[in-house]
Amino acid sequence: MREIIYDVFARKDRGDTLAHIGYIDALDDATAKVYAWKTYDEQNWFEMCVVPRSAIILVNRDDGPFARGGAT
């Protein structure tokens, strides 16, 4: 079953910097939202969002953690 890598970003309080907190593998956007919320539940997040890794455009280097693209 083909899965997609989603990167997870969150901020604890309004005004905090949105931080990259991890990633999950999911079937689609709907399951990505559930997996992210259930997996990274160590905080009572003010805001969380997920981004398909394939949508991230590399700017200054091509060997960073986001360089591997979207598919597992």
Partner 1 sequence: MSDFVDVSDLSDDTRAALRRHIISLADTKRFMGIRYSDWLLGAPTLETCIAASSMAQDEWGHARLLYAMLKDLGEDPTAVEHDRADDEFANVSALDEPLPDWAAVIAAMVLVDGAITAALESFAEGRFESATSRGPKMILEEEFHRSLGDAWYRRLADSTSEEARDLLAAATRSMLSVTLAWLGAADSEARALVEAGIIGDPKAAVDSYRERVGPLVALAGIELDEVQPAQEWDSRRGRAPGQPDADSCERVRGDRNRALFVE
Binding site for partner 1 (CB under 8 A): 1, 3, 24-28, 30-31, 33-35, 37-39, 41
Q: Using CB atoms within 10 A of its CB, is residue 24 exposed (0-12), middle (13-18) or buried (19+)?
A: buried
Instruction: Tell me how far, at minimum, the Cβ of 32 lies from partner 1, in Å.
Output: 9
**Which C-beta is closer to partner 1: that of 2 or that of 61?**
2
**Which C-beta is closer to partner 1: that of 20 or that of 64?**
20
**Which C-beta is closer to partner 1: that of 38 or that of 61?**
38
Instruction: Tell me how far, at minimum, the Cβ of 17 lies from partner 1, in Å.
Output: 25
Q: What is the largest CA-CA distance in the chain?
A: 39
The DSSP code sequence of 17-56 is PPEEEEEEEESSHHHHHHHHHHHS-SS--SEEEEEEGGGP
